Amino acid sequence: MNPYILQLQNITYSYHSLTGEIPALSDISFDVKQGEFLAIVGPSGCGKSTLLSIIARLLSPEGGTIVFQNPNGSLEYPKTGYMLQHDHLLEWRTIFKNVTLGLEVTHQETVENITYANKLLSDYDLYKFKDKHPGELSGGMRQRAALIRTLVLNPDILLLDEPFSALDYQTRLSVSGDIGNIIRTTGKTAILITHDLSEAISLADRVIILSARPATVKKEVSIHLTKPDDTPLAARSAPEFHHYFNLLWKELSHEKKS
């Protein structure tokens, strides 16, 4: 069986406006393995969100191909779930009604799916808040609720576009650790866009560095950290952490100067 859930081959994309063409992606190729946690870093405006939109099939590439492999071996397109910087919880709905929104609009409110939603709420410490409204929860709890809303639809790939950047630093550390662990325990494939190098190193199995716009793949770095547990603090205290940080920093700072 193909070990890759996703293979991008020579992807190009440009935006077209009245003032001309804006090339965003140029000849992007990389593979993503089933169950892998991939982080993508690159200078601001280089094309990271564009790339994620292409993977989510919200945009069609101008050139190149994407080969998808459904984890169950079928030819169906794998299901993607999106998580963004803002949680977009609906303030007038309870947490339960928010996390089951996707099930409601796709008419999938089966007993099995509702039981799964309740299990996720319970596993991730939100069950006792299920009848509260988003305004009564902390930023970190809201992001966990947003992740559960995505997970109840059972996606094969999670696309995370700077999902922690609206949180304060301390909350960001703990929520990124929580969410990283949830993704790992559910065995999902994840692609995280972040501008925070420490976050990329502490969460990902592999980091892809993109060049300035139009983005090309500058470097791929596999991450292997010696750590006693999966907390963000343990990752940041690993002996290899600074080596990876310096490597990514050098690549990116060179990119900003060029």
Q: Give Cα 156 to chain centroid, integer Å.
A: 12
Min dist CB 85 to ligand ADP, Å, is 11
The single residue among 34, 36, 41, 50 that binds ligand ADP, judged by CB under 6 A, is: 50
Tokens 């310096």 belong to residue = 246
**Identity of the amino acid at 225:** L
Tokens 């779930």 belong to residue = 81
Min dist CB 172 to ligand ADP, Å, is 19
Q: Which of positions 80-119 make contact with ligand ADP (CB under 6 A)?
A: none
The single residue among 7, 22, 88, 219 that binds ligand ADP, judged by CB under 6 A, is: 22
The single residue among 19, 44, 60, 258 that binds ligand ADP, judged by CB under 6 A, is: 44
195 close to 116: Cβ distance less than 8 angstroms: no
Between 18 and 75, CB nearer to ligand ADP:
18
Under the binding rule (CB under 6 A), the answer on residue 60 touching ligand ADP is: no
Q: Indicate the length of the chain as a whole number.
A: 258
Between 97 and 219, CB nearer to ligand ADP:
219
The single residue among 46, 160, 197, 203 that binds ligand ADP, judged by CB under 6 A, is: 46
Three-state SS at 180: helix
Partners of 221 in beta bridges: 207
* Pair type for strands 20-33 and 4-17: antiparallel
Under the binding rule (CB under 6 A), the answer on residue 14 touching ligand ADP is: no
Between 175 and 193, CB nearer to ligand ADP:
193
The stretch near ligand ADP (CB under 6 A) out of 43-51, 55-63, 124-132, 163-171 is 43-51
Min dist CB 13 to ligand ADP, Å, is 9
Q: Which of positions 177-216 make contact with ligand ADP (CB under 6 A)?
A: 213
237: CB partners within 8 A, 6+ apart: 227
The stretch near ligand ADP (CB under 6 A) out of 37-45, 126-134, 219-227, 245-253 is 37-45
What is the rounded distance in angstroms from the CA atom of residue 170 to the CA atom of residue 173?
5
* Pair type for strands 206-210 and 217-222: antiparallel
Under the binding rule (CB under 6 A), the answer on residue 74 touching ligand ADP is: no
What DSSP assignment string belongs to 108-145? ---HHHHHHHHHHHHHTT-GGGTTS-GGGS-HHHHHHH
Residues of this chain that bind ligand ADP (CB under 6 A): 15, 17, 22, 24, 42, 44-50, 213
